[in-house]
Amino acid sequence: LKGQVVTAWDTFTLDATTFEHRGKRYFLWAQSEPGIATNSNLYIAEMATPLELGSAPVRIAVPTLPWEVQGFKVNEGPAVLIRNGRVFVTFSASATDARYCMGLLTADENANLLDARSWTKSPNPVFTTNDATRQYGPGHNSFTTVGDQDVLVYHARDYRDITGDPLFDPNRHTRVQKVHWNDDGTPGFGVPVGEGGPVVRLSPVDSPRLVVRHRDYRLRVDGDVRELGDSQFRLVDGFLGADTTAVQSVNFPDRYARVDGVSLRVDPYEDSDAYGRTASFVRVAGLAGRDGVSLRLAADPARYVAHDGVGRLVLTAPGNDRGARERATFRLG
């Protein structure tokens, strides 16, 4: 232990992190400032040494929005991600129960980070409780990488109801999931995905900028994905034996991809033979042979999941047609 990092006030302070940008080392933390009626705000300062601040604290965020002041007026837990010409700071807000959530601050990478005017707070939270996935109060995150993939690390609970002060409830378990990037260069977090295996997105090899998504429960191939969770799935055990695969929606985990005539949709699970036959597939090497995968309907070996070129996800018999085989091959991302 090297002792306390001294700030401008001897008050409640926590969650400090440091980061380097353009040759300068910064200190970023949460603190209660005298004269401001909040539990904690966010501050930044340049560092003179690994143990000392080299500039006065600059207040860059105060909890004022409705989602930041539920239970307690809190901005805390800052974490930094520098990408796409911007400096992003995620933070957590409100009481540490199901109302706990993540917000986002953004500054241009060329801006003076010690000028509060350089920072813009997003008007809505970017990561919140999700009843469908049974993940409550996600927050206090950090970031890491696996190869070139950005990863979000955070904690959440598996239940909503808490007896007493949520600060003393012990079950905020650590989670990890991928960070995706929106077309405008901002991070996309989706929903806290809950228990289960790896989460994937499926992109056709002939249209790699598009992804499979559901809209009004119909499955489509689309480049306009407003809700990241609509395009996230798990490939899990199917309903017709160990060699089959089912495609489970992440943000509606009680729903699975199911053939409806020639098109596909995500429907609630039913314990029936008819449901199993229309929602079970066999995962095989990509028909186009480009490091992809193809999904064959288990009940009909000739028919595969494919996109039809105009946005619909359908069931088709590609045969030896090269274009059809490419439309039936997907990469997992």
pLDDT at 102: 98
User: For the chain, how are helix, strand and coil distributed in percent, rounded to 5?
Assistant: 10, 45, 45
pLDDT at position 281: 98
- The Cα–Cα gap between 68 and 266 comes to 34
pTM above 0.85, yes or no: yes
| Percent of the residues in the chain that have a pLDDT greater than 90, as a whole number | 93
Per run of 10 residues, the mean pLDDT along the chain (length 333 residues) is 91 96 97 97 97 97 98 97 98 97 98 98 98 96 96 96 90 94 94 91 95 95 90 96 95 96 96 97 93 95 95 95 96 94
Nearest-angstrom CA–CA distance, 207 and 202? 11
Report residue 22: phi and psi, to 5°. Answer: 50, 45
Q: Is 116 exposed, middle or buried (0-12, 13-18, 19+ CB in 10 A)?
A: middle
Domain ranges of the chain: 13-188, 202-332
Residue 297 has what pLDDT?
A: 97
Instruction: From residue 34, give the alpha-carbon distance in Å to each of 11, 50, 120, 185, 264.
Output: 8, 26, 24, 37, 58
State which amino acid sits at residue 134: R
- For the segment(s) 202-332, the CATH number from 1.20.1730.10, 2.120.10.60, 1.10.630.10, 2.80.10.50 is 2.80.10.50
Question: Tell me: the pLDDT tens digits for 287-308?
Answer: 998 789 999 999 999 999 999 9
Same fold, 13-188 and 202-332: no
Check residue 84 and give its pLDDT: 97
Give me the chain's average pLDDT, please: 95
pLDDT tens digits, one per residue of 120-167: 999 999 999 999 999 999 999 999 999 999 999 999 999 999 988 898
- Quote the CATH superfamily of domain 13-188: Glycosyl hydrolase domain; family 43 (2.115.10.20)
